[in-house]
């Protein structure tokens, strides 16, 4: 029963990576999605801040930057720990597979790794879809 539960958990983790490859992305690839809203908007332009307001706004941002950097480092460390756990689980899962299952597992792992290394921009995906439609 314990072995079954372990295999089930490992399979679920592998499926989660295959379905949602964001978990396997590097921190650099994930960071843009985690930016707070205030960093995505150019408040100086949008609100037409005057020179005094610009200076105050820049001071606010500079004051919070060390805190944000510390949090980014913690997030990066946690992601690395999660990646290590996934890798360890995958090694243990592969060890209990027969040759045919191991080959299939390796093929799936290679496909996931390829997807995670080469994220396609949305425009490129749309262009490929349009080209397929024309053919």
| Residue 42, helix vs strand vs coil | coil
DSSP 96: T
Say which residues have a Cβ less than 8 Å from residue 69's Cβ, sequence separation at least 6: none
Identify the DSSP state of 41: S
Domain hosting 72: range is 2-134
Q: In total, how many domains does the chain have?
A: 1
pLDDT tens, position by position, 118-127: 766 665 555 5
Q: Does this model's pTM top 0.85?
A: no
Residue-wise pLDDT tens digits, 16-33: 655 554 444 454 444 444
Question: What is the phi/psi pair of residue 42, to 5°?
Answer: -85, 90
Phi, psi of 35 (to 5 degrees): -65, 140
Count CB neighbours of 98 within 10 A.
Answer: 7
- Separation CA 119–CA 112 (nearest Å): 11
What pLDDT tens digit does each residue of the chain (135 aa) get? 666 666 666 666 665 655 554 444 454 444 444 455 445 578 888 888 899 999 999 899 899 999 999 999 999 999 999 999 999 999 999 999 999 999 999 999 999 888 877 766 665 555 555 555 555
């Amino acid at each position: 029963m314990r072995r079954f539960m372990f295999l089930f958990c490992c399979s679920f983790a592998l499926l989660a990576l295959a379905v949602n490859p964001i978990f396997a992305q590097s921190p650099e690839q994930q960071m843009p999605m985690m930016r707070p809203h205030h960093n995505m908007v150019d408040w100086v332009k949008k609100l037409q801040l005057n020179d005094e307001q610009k200076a105050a706004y820049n001071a606010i941002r500079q004051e919070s930057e060390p805190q944000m950097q510390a949090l980014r480092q913690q997030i990066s460390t946690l992601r690395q720990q999660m990646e290590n756990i996934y890798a360890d689980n995958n090694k243990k899962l592969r060890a209990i597979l027969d040759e045919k299952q191991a080959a299939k597992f390796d093929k799936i792992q290679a496909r996931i790794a390829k997807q995670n290394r080469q994220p396609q921009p949305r425009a490129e995906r749309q262009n490929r879809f349009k080209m397929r439609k024309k053919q």
